[in-house]
Amino acid sequence: MQVTRALFDEVMVPNYAPSSVIPVKGQGSRVWDQNGKEFIDFAGGIAVNCLGHCHPVLVKALQDQSEKLWHLSNVMTNEPALRLAKKLTDATFAEKVYFANSGAESNEAALKLARRYALEVFGAEKTHIIAFNKGFHGRTFFTVTVGGQAAYSDGFGPKPADIQHCNYNDLAAFEALISDKTCAVMMEPLQGEGGIISPTAEFVQAVRALCDKHNALLIFDEVQTGVGRTGHLYAYQGLGVTPDILTTAKALGGGFPIGAMLTTTAIAAHLKVGTHGSTYGGNPLACAVAEAAFDVVNTPDVLNGVKEREQLFREGLTAINEKYNVFSEVRGEGLLLGAVLNADFAGRSRDFLLASADHGLMSLVAGTDVVRFAPSLIIPKEDIVEGLARFEKAVSQVVNG
């Protein structure tokens, strides 16, 4: 069968609009399409491929586990799931882990747990959830409603109730919303889809204090920021604030679908047997690959290397901007960076993405005004240099028409 982009339109539901490029092979931070064209990958599958493509440690873990055990369901547990859970609890604040298949499912579990905890500990009136405008927490109906982008949640009928939003970093607005009826606050410790927006230290610390005051659980959605992306294993570890519940996915499996919700023993106790579940959650194949990825990432060499690579990106983007004057700032932390377009190029982030592809570079957007970069955490420095040279050609193409 000949596979072409036209086949997508023939057989796939039209909720995506993929480019004409169909990659067929990846190695490290380079990818080749059907025609043999090479790309440098600054996208990382949207912050997923934390060790690039076909990392030998992950390939070996998958091959080894594929000859042992593929799937059981949670009628029984398995060794890879328990090993991974122990490593996650040893490395974080958490004492208990729930496995899912994606970030959305991990966030769904977190929100259900928060509601159940509040109901059983404080009573039926404590159902209020606060989240933030421009936030993104997944595409299930609960998570897309909690996410602060109405365009994603409108048009599907009545939404889950008792959810309110305010602006990120707006402490006065947040303080006006929270009350003793608030059961949970969900936030990204660095907004990804919303434009690569970092929180102020004052804001994060005040949110934590107000949650404590009102007996509300603080949920950190670290689906995008987790597993080394910011140069910390999890972003909360660099903020001096500890959540009650943390969700992780994307980079957790290094490209293999897996997600997890992490929390304390006392809170976890409220997801009793039968209250929640997942057929594939804790799948042995997924957990074996995730364990291997975790072991590689959770090392000083890799985490410190993220900060070194961040500096290379910032220096390179600054040099490009000095020549072309297209960005107002570069936001983010570690290898989750956003080049914010200035007023002259506002709304044109997709133009930069398409031009990048023309010049052999895979990049991302975060809204219409931000070009986003989320490459492998171990991308070779020469690939950063070459990728930025290709990005400069893309910028020149957009600027000069």
Of 42, 132, 174, 221, which one is the catalytic site residue? 221
Q: Is 136 a catalytic residue?
A: yes
Of 134, 250, 294, 352, which one is the catalytic site residue? 250
Q: Please report, for residues 109, 184, 351, the alpha-carbon distance to residue 369 in angstroms, rounded to integers and kept in the order given.
A: 32, 30, 10
Q: Is 162 a catalytic residue?
A: no
Tell me if 224 is assigned to a ligand binding site. Answer: yes
Q: Secondary structure of the chain in the HEC alphabet?
A: CCCCHHHHHHHCCCCCCCCCCCEEEEEECEEEECCCCEEEECCHHHHCCCCCECCHHHHHHHHHHHCCCCCCCCCCCCHHHHHHHHHHHHHCCCCEEEEECCHHHHHHHHHHHHHHHHHHHHCCCCCEEEEEECCCCCCCHHHHHHCECHHHHCCCCCCCCCEEEECCCCHHHHHHHCCCCEEEEEECCCECCCCCECCCHHHHHHHHHHHHHCCCEEEEECCCCCCCCCCCCCHHHHCCCCCCEEEECHHHHCCCCCEEEEECHHHHCCCCCCCCCCCCCCCHHHHHHHHHHHHHHCCHHHHHHHHHHHHHHHHHHHHHHHHHCCEEEEEEECCEEEEEECHHHCCCHHHHHHHHHHCCEECEECCCCEEEECCCCCCCHHHHHHHHHHHHHHHHHHHHC
Tell me if 401 is assigned to a ligand binding site. Answer: no
Tell me if 223 is assigned to a ligand binding site. Answer: yes
Tell me if 90 is assigned to a ligand binding site. Answer: no
Q: Is 307 a catalytic residue?
A: no
Q: In terms of Cα–Cα distance, which of 346, 350, 355 is closest to 326?
A: 346
Tell me if 147 is assigned to a ligand binding site. Answer: no
Tell me if 191 is assigned to a ligand binding site. Answer: no
Tell me if 41 is assigned to a ligand binding site. Answer: no
Tell me if 279 is assigned to a ligand binding site. Answer: yes
Tell me if 10 is assigned to a ligand binding site. Answer: no
Of 39, 42, 132, 136, which one is the catalytic site residue? 136
Tell me if 221 is assigned to a ligand binding site. Answer: yes
Indicate the annotated binding residues. 103-104, 136, 139, 221-224, 278-279
Indicate the annotated binding residues for N(2)-acetyl-L-ornithine. 139, 278
Catalytic amino acids?
A: 136, 221, 250
Indicate the annotated binding residues for pyridoxal 5'-phosphate. 103-104, 136, 221-224, 279
